Amino acid sequence: MGKNGTGKKKKRHKNREILLVSYFFVFLFLGMMTYICVYVYQNQEVMINNSYNAGQQILVAQNRRGSIMARGGEVLAETITQADGSEIRRYPYDSLFSHVVGYSTKGKTGIEDKMNYYLIQSNAPLNEKMDNGMKDRKNPGDNVYTTLDVKMQEAANRALGIYEGAIVASDPKTGEVLAMVSKPDFNPNEISEIWEEVLEDDESGLLLNRASQGLYPPGSTFKIVTALEYIHENPSTYTDYSFTCNGSIKIDGSRIQCYHGTNHGKVDFERSFAKSCNTSFANMGTKVDRSSFDKTLDKLLFGKALPFDLESSVSTVKVKQDMTAEEQMQIAIGQGETLVTPLHMNLITCAIANDGILQQPYVVDHVENSNGAVLKRFSSPGTTEMMTQQEAYILQGLMREVVETGTATRLQGCPYTAAGKTGSAEYNSDRDSHAWFTGYAPAEDPQICVTVIIEGAGSGGDYAVPIARRVFDAYFDAADGEN
């Protein structure tokens, strides 16, 4: 193509117009051909995954669906060809990975859905494919390796027990998701049998991955955000903050109460956070600048799609220019119309633990062909700066204090040091609340971030913290075992 320049020299003046038009069309076509190649190459994955594409069926008929593995190589999902030639998809861990791995009959969810493109392809060696072709056998599909840790998943699942709720555990430094549990769960091996039942039951939300799709009022865990905004606006004077808590606050006729009406007395900034003093934070909420708050929320990914492979919901906070004092106070303590996903809370915690930078999460590590050759590696899709390093340091200190002297004292006396924030989010007028905890450990060198929500259990300090502790324990036990 590079020779066109010399071609032009031979241009005869007489036929300049014809040559011009010819060259125009030649270039147009070269452009079009390049475009076609580039377009097809770039969009192949998206197109094959589209349910309107008949190509899927063609691949499914040729290849046996690949397996999904945990980080240790344990099989989470595999396809088995039975004696009569029919295929079944088997999930050896039954309900343990039900939401995150998902299912592939009756539609597709979770990793089964997102990695469908790779699972239905086969990059088996050519001689093996040829052999299979001769014997009329299907080719083995490519296998997907996840970042999920079976031990962590089991620990989280056991810790959550009979409660409904969700747990997310991830590595703040790499963005790897280690465990993702959502309850109630289901057994994907029996999805066909329970399908009718599931469809009729629209209350429990059995198929919903609460960890990434469940939207909950954040309650006091949102005070992390309010505190960040206050520090952001008053970087040098926030330590001078002081407030006297009488158990409740009343501004413009609306009243905010501390949890169970507790009277916290005179509190400074650190104490307000550690004791999760609603009235103090409501007071703070009326003082922050709204447009600045808006920007902070924006940086923290509120109202935006989370950078994550699997389906996730968008968290929302409604900050308007003309808000009543009540709305301001409600937002500051994470009540009102504010809704977040446990995954999102986990990401904010990760960013704090990682000195302000969010290493975006991922759950699929790499894809291998049936012979174990790596075809494609995935890593964290990127980083997002959620806050400055300085602000992250301050929040780390605040969260450490929550464990030391505040609402998460049940995390004391462990072989590791933890930091975090509790929350008790009221979700109805009867003052029933979801128990939250989001935190990380070790405080000096964070390796794991855990976010827990338990639906309707009560206070975060009493219910969510012990569960988070079991997850931390499992992580550090395993780490000790390795050393």
Partner 1 sequence: MAIYTYESFSVFRFREEKRRKGIYTRQVILLFFVHFTCFLTICIKTGELQYLFFYAFQQLAVFAALVLFELCYPAVNRLILHNMCMLLVIGFVTLTRLDMRLAVRQFVIVLMSMAVAMAIPYVMRRLKDLKNYSWLYALVGTLPLLTVLLLGNTTYGSKLSYSIFGISFQPSEFIKIVFVFFIASALYKSAGLLQVAYVTAVAGSHVLLLVASRDLGSALIFFVVYVLMVFLATRNFWYLLLGVGGGCGASVIAYRLFRHVQVRVQAWKDPWSVIDGEGYQITQSLFSLGRGGLFGLGLFQGAPGDIPKVERDFIFSAVSEEMGLIVALCVIMVSLSCFIMFMNISMRLKDRFYQLAAFGMGILYIFQVFLTIGGDTKFIPLTGVTLPLVSYGGSSIMTTLIMFSIIEGLYIIRQDEGAVNVKKKSKAAGGRQKAGRTEAERAGEGEGDKNEESPFGEEWDGKEKETP
Binding of partner 1 by 10 (CB under 8 A):
yes
Binding of partner 1 by 53 (CB under 8 A):
yes
CA-to-CA distance for 385 and 372, rounded, in angstroms? 36
Binding of partner 1 by 199 (CB under 8 A):
no
Binding of partner 1 by 320 (CB under 8 A):
no
Note if the bond before 184 is cis, omega within 30 degrees.
yes
CA-to-CA distance for 446 and 349, rounded, in angstroms? 11
CA-to-CA distance for 332 and 314, rounded, in angstroms? 19
Residue range at the interface with partner 1 (CB under 8 A); choices 129-137, 227-235, 276-284, 425-433: 129-137
Contact residue for partner 1 among 72, 125, 133, 415 (CB under 8 A): 133
Binding of partner 1 by 193 (CB under 8 A):
no
Residue range at the interface with partner 1 (CB under 8 A); choices 124-132, 148-156, 293-301, 390-398: 124-132
Contact residue for partner 1 among 60, 62, 205, 257 (CB under 8 A): 62
Q: Are strands 448-454 and 63-64 parallel, antiparallel or unpaired?
A: unpaired
- 135 or 260: CB nearest partner 1: 135
Binding of partner 1 by 2 (CB under 8 A):
yes
Residue range at the interface with partner 1 (CB under 8 A); choices 38-46, 250-258, 455-463, 471-479: 38-46
Binding of partner 1 by 22 (CB under 8 A):
yes
Bridge partners for 179 per DSSP: 169
**Which residues contact residue 94 at a Cβ distance below 8 angstroms, ignoring those fewer than 6 apart?**
187, 188, 189
Q: At which residue do the structure tokens 């409904």 appear?
A: 164
Tokens standing for residue 75: 């099989």
Name the minimum Å distance from CB 368 to partner 1: 21
Terminal C-alpha separation, the chain: 60
Q: At which residue do the structure tokens 């937002």 appear?
A: 331
Binding of partner 1 by 38 (CB under 8 A):
no
Binding of partner 1 by 129 (CB under 8 A):
yes
**Which residues contact residue 189 at a Cβ distance below 8 angstroms, ignoring those fewer than 6 apart?**
90, 91, 94
Residue 70 backbone phi and psi in degrees, to 5: -85, 175
Number of residues that bind partner 1 (CB under 8 A): 45
Interaction site with partner 1 (CB under 8 A)? 1-4, 6-7, 10-12, 15-19, 21-22, 25-26, 28-30, 32-33, 35-37, 39-40, 43-44, 47-48, 50, 52-55, 57-58, 62, 126, 129-130, 133-134
